[in-house]
Homo-oligomer: A and B are copies of this chain.
Amino acid sequence: MQMTPMIESFVCHFGEMGSRWGFNRTVGQIYALLVVSEQPICANEIAELLGISRGNVSMGLKELSSWQLVQVQHKAGDRKEYYFCRGSIWDMANKVFEERRKREMDPTLSLLRDIMMDEAANQDEAYAQQRIIEIHDLLENITEWTQSLQSLSPEKLNTLMKLGSGVGKVLEFTDKFRPKKDA
């Protein structure tokens, strides 16, 4: 594996995007590198290619492992661990969504639920609580929905996405034929 301008700009950009996507620059770069490399790469080579410390690579790989985004491979007669990322692009996207849900949605939902349980002590709190309930319900809906979408096969998801806003029409169409079937 060699750094060419093309690969470098991809890796570099994924690093910058990393922070927006919920992981840090190094993690983003390591991941990008593994995605575009056909061959597994060892930690030392990663450090060298990216120009970062060996320790940092170790931490980055640890994080990617916890996201289940990389895998380790051994080569015969070589003690090094070679990393690569297997799985389709869909798998990766799923992992990222899932992880973000865990970090961004779950703790919030949990707190909102707690607040919903409380008794409102005055007028202000009653109003606040009502807004909080609205937010909770929306987030819960979105969470459940995205979760159920993730259980769909990639093919079906693709069909759905291709429909685009046409899905609105499908809903109307469906309603006509079985208007009272869903709870």
Contact = CB atoms under 8 A, between A and B. Distances in A.
Interface of A: 1-2, 4, 6-7, 9-10, 13, 17, 20-22, 35-38, 89-90, 93, 103-104, 107-108, 111-112, 114-115, 118, 120-122, 124-125, 127-129, 131-132, 134-135, 138, 141-142, 144-145, 148-149, 151-153, 156, 158-168, 170-171, 173-174, 177, 182-183
A156 B171 contact: yes
A139 to B, nearest CB: 8
A4 B121 contact: yes
Given A115-B10, A174-B174, A125 B4 contact: yes
Given A13-B107, A13-B111, A17-B104, 15 more contacts: A4-B124, A4-B125, A6-B128, A10-B115, A10-B128, A17-B107, A21-B104, A36-B131, A93-B142, A141-B161, A148-B164, A148-B165, A151-B165, A159-B171, A160-B167
Contacts of A103: 20
Nearest to A172: B156
A66 to B, nearest CB: 17
Given A6-B128, A103-B20, A134-B89, A142 B121 contact: no
B13 A108 contact: yes
A162 B134 contact: no
A10 B132 contact: yes
